Chains A and B, each alone.
Chain A
């Protein structure tokens, strides 16, 4: 049963990969969407079965086969459904299905073969992502972890004829591999330390130990695992691949680089919550890295002009929030934000995709404006998404973000809370910057001269002309996805309504078994929700509501009411503006400090210097010496009998002389 969930998209992949080039677009799209929707239905049934179980025994496991068995190393390919993975599979298959449907319209200009290739990758991604969240041990998780990385690589570089796209794909893969370097060492250390790779066994073993006071083995394990998470989930210092990943088709950005794959690092920490809880030093690092990433990405997002890049930095920033939650031990809050974020960030990306689609590939905010009138569905759904992510009360983002900020404050990290709040302000500003620049006001320039950054195949030229004449709103397949996600962005938060607002935080209660060891119920380190804390929580909510509204107001002032003001601010701080525009020059620094030195060392130092000159030079010298010596010796072989006779005679004399002398 569980196996079917990843297997169905895998079958979809195999079908489209083998026969996709020979079937029509509708058939290829139907196979892919059918596989995803079927997987979603199976997931729903599985989750209902899970919920039917008593709260403290909610787990369904299925061992598929014994994968590796050699000496100590024994790993079973086992899938396991528990509350945490239940949330994840619903997000992956649910939002995944919507994005598949959306893609059928978004990608319709591709050639048949390309269309099938796209959907085969998308299905393969879903299959690996589901393995990732269902795997019951580190290696099965790693299968998914690497598999989604491969699909991300392929989909970022989907338009492979464009150099920037294939560069971005390569960058994503390699940067992720740097994270994997840490991750795999962490896994090995965990195996040596605990003798197992099974999540539950590790949780049980580590629960038996107390939290580490100093930086010990568990701290090292968790820190190495976190290095992996910084790669996959785009945190400092490995976040640089995600903004570039926007080279991929927009639905891919929505699915992989917003809703699902990039949250894998957060999920992985949640999956090993017990282990991480016992490494407080690592948790502190995670919280600090998370909040620093949130702030850094938020500031960059303020000034970017590419609509997708703003959203990308926003994703990095929101992922930072999730890590902040993990770092302060509020695992449920982090997963809650992961879940709500999946809705509104997917919505925002798909909305931006609808804009890009309508404008025939235009992604520059400065060339947009006034789209509200022509694209009503896109506008209203996008607005809902922007309100949700900004943390406006009663929408999903409000509940989850507030939960994180509250937990941060309650755990005594006031400084982190302040930075988190500041980031929240930035979020509201840059999101509404998009809303105002793209949808309000009026178009600054006609978009007809827009350079085709979308790299559509040439036959779409006629299509562009059609677009130019009349902007059309999202076609039905896209509109459905937008509307459903908009509803989700509003409603998704209510499963986790906090007690302070009269709810019972059912989401957190549901997830709790996943964050505690099965038989060792450690007391939760979150403060008991008494009346006093309720007051605090309500107070904090009020503060963050003010911040969100203030941010929207600032965006309104700078980008709609008084557009000159933003330019003035920018020209008053030219240095700061330039630094932000260039993303703190991080890419340039990495290039100068790491990439170029490696290139020079390997090419001029190791290859042309050491390998060719020194080692091979020595080899050739030896050969040359032998050759030279034999050339000298060859002169002795004159062929003259007299010379031979003379040397013979000389030899005899020498030998006889030696004996006589003695």
Chain B
């Protein structure tokens, strides 16, 4: 069973879509039931991945491999590591939530709607599973079409403009990305050391060192494709439109999963396949990410449309994700992945939250609401928790990701970290503003006086997200453990000096950690006996984080003890500047 679990996960939604084709379109409730059950099964069959995944193994797991187009070397090649495994679980869960949230929201063309939603699901899952670059590209494009229709048919006012904008934006990126893929494909073939084979095998690309010049161009090509998806400033303007006009489930999927395609692409392809170019482009990515963080937050502050506000907050959050990733050290990258999951959970939930009142009131204008706490107390409580998750309150998930990213970035460069941390303040400002304007105050609009609180079905869409938010905030260890080898894999490629020094200097720590993860020797005991051991052991590693900043050409690394930092230059009064 384990050998085909990925295919099972991948094709369950597709099978459901075919099943729906057979149902009479007038029988809407049957369609709804089938779609919900299929989505639930889709989630259920993916859960074993969490348990069967072996966190110690550094190779791709659950691999399935079969020829696809032998003449060009393309294969049906699936496999996951910790990173994609978590994203797959996020996808199946959010897929189910999206389907469940649509029960009463969608009343027209119900059959087509669910078919598109399920097709989209297969496209996203395929992209996360593919280890063949062409197969990945196929799924990447497959996602586009259903999303286009979801926005264009079931969206709100300006849906056609938004749908086309979404489609063209992404298409431009992916066409250029395809050129990059082909460049790698031919370059790999051209090197006689590779035996003259044609292949799209990503695992081979991960082990091969492409020429720096080629890397530079391909990085740019990939950058366009992925940066649009993330979206990074200044390629983000499709997002507010798409989010605003998409139906609730579309926004949820878009925020929770589709945006992760971009960050997934950077982490799966750009960093390990193009390590040298990745290092070269750090300054550009960092600058764009920091602009994204501050800019997204500031623009969110000015929004009058509830959904648009959440959309711009996504730009800010995803900027942080990108920044953490391009800190190019283990903590930063791990934090980046955790924050991707967090963003999926909290922003997904925030879109569900807007959807609830949109369905009741058919407006997204913030000023139309106010005082909802009084009539919808359960809703208000969930909104509050998700707001806090989004702004990184400790004990909820957002904090873990933010902290790790800031820590990783701080080691790389303190100034970047200071900029990134400004999101802490601005994030609180726009979210609390939103919360105050919608939830607090007196109910002044008579239309809001009789709004119903959450139904059981609606509550069920939030329940898993609430559980995850608290779980990841209080006890993220199971997630972090499953990410270790994925992160090490990327680090070994892109920051080898870190990986090797890590192994040399922290050798004492690593075996302990891996032994601790073995069945019955719990790691906490090791730490419990000597809490200081782990802290002290990490000192040399941390000092080793410093040389990293030289690669970015920003802060001069202090050779020598490595514990002193350069004093802040701007503090000297007698400075000529």
Contact = CB atoms under 8 A, between A and B. Distances in A.
Given A71-B331, A195-B542, A167 B377 contact: no
Given A63-B524, A66-B477, A184-B421, A74 B534 contact: yes
Interface residues of A, number: 67
Contacts, number: 196
Given A66-B477, A72-B542, A161-B374, A193 B563 contact: yes
Contacts of B483: 70
A279 to B, nearest CB: 13
Interface string B299-322: 101110000000000000000000
B394 A147 contact: yes
A623 B167 CA distance: 12
A166 B441 contact: yes
Nearest to B435: A170
A56 interface: no
Interface string A199-216: 001000000000000111
Nearest to B334: A70
Contacts of B299: 602, 606-607, 611
A598 interface: yes
A562 B483 CA distance: 75
B21 interface: no
B295 A195 contact: no
B425 to A, nearest CB: 5
B394 A146 contact: yes
A447 interface: no
For chain B, what secondary structure do more than half of its interface residues adopt (helix, strand, loop), or is it mixed? helix
A103 interface: no
Interface string B521-532: 001100110011
Interface string A532-568: 0000000000000000000000000000000000000
Contacts of B394: 139, 142-143, 146-147
A619 interface: yes
A174 interface: yes
A188 B410 contact: yes
B477 A161 contact: no
A71 B425 contact: no
Contacts of A143: 394-395
B187 interface: no
Contacts of A189: 410, 414, 565
Contacts of A188: 406-407, 410, 417
A616 B161 CA distance: 13
Given A66-B527, A178-B425, A73 B407 contact: yes
Given A143-B395, A201-B532, A174 B425 contact: yes
B298 A598 contact: yes
Interface in B389-409: 393-395, 399-400, 403-404, 406-407
B209 interface: no
A288 interface: no
A74 B535 contact: yes
A456 to B, nearest CB: 14
A192 B410 contact: yes
Contacts of A184: 403, 406, 421, 424
A70 B424 contact: no
Interface in B410-428: 410-411, 414, 417-418, 421-422, 424-425, 428
A615 B433 CA distance: 26
A185 interface: yes
B567 interface: yes
A78 interface: yes
Interface in A595-637: 598-599, 601-603, 606-608, 611, 615-616, 619, 623
Contacts of B374: 161
B425 A177 contact: yes
Contacts of B507: none
A175 B442 CA distance: 25
A147 B395 contact: yes
B404 A73 contact: yes
B226 to A, nearest CB: 18
A163 to B, nearest CB: 6
Contact of A150 (B388, B433, B439): B388
A380 interface: no
B503 interface: no
Given A161-B374, A161-B441, A174-B428, A216 B567 contact: yes
B244 to A, nearest CB: 13
Contact of A606 (B295, B418, B567): B295
Contact of A615 (B234, B395, B436, B441): B234
B234 A185 contact: no
A70 B532 CA distance: 16
Nearest to B430: A602
B330 interface: yes
Contacts of A585: none
A606 B301 CA distance: 11
Given A150-B393, A615-B237, A217 B441 contact: no
Nearest to B394: A143
Contacts of A142: 394
**The 9 A-B residue pairs with the shortest CB-CB distance in the complex, in nearest-first order:** A195-B539, A603-B302, A602-B298, A196-B535, A71-B330, A166-B440, A160-B440, A143-B394, A72-B538
Given A161-B441, A602-B299, 4 more contacts: A66-B477, A67-B476, A68-B480, A74-B534
13 contacts: A66-B524, A70-B480, A71-B487, A71-B538, A73-B407, A74-B534, A167-B436, A189-B414, A195-B536, A216-B567, A607-B299, A611-B237, A616-B237
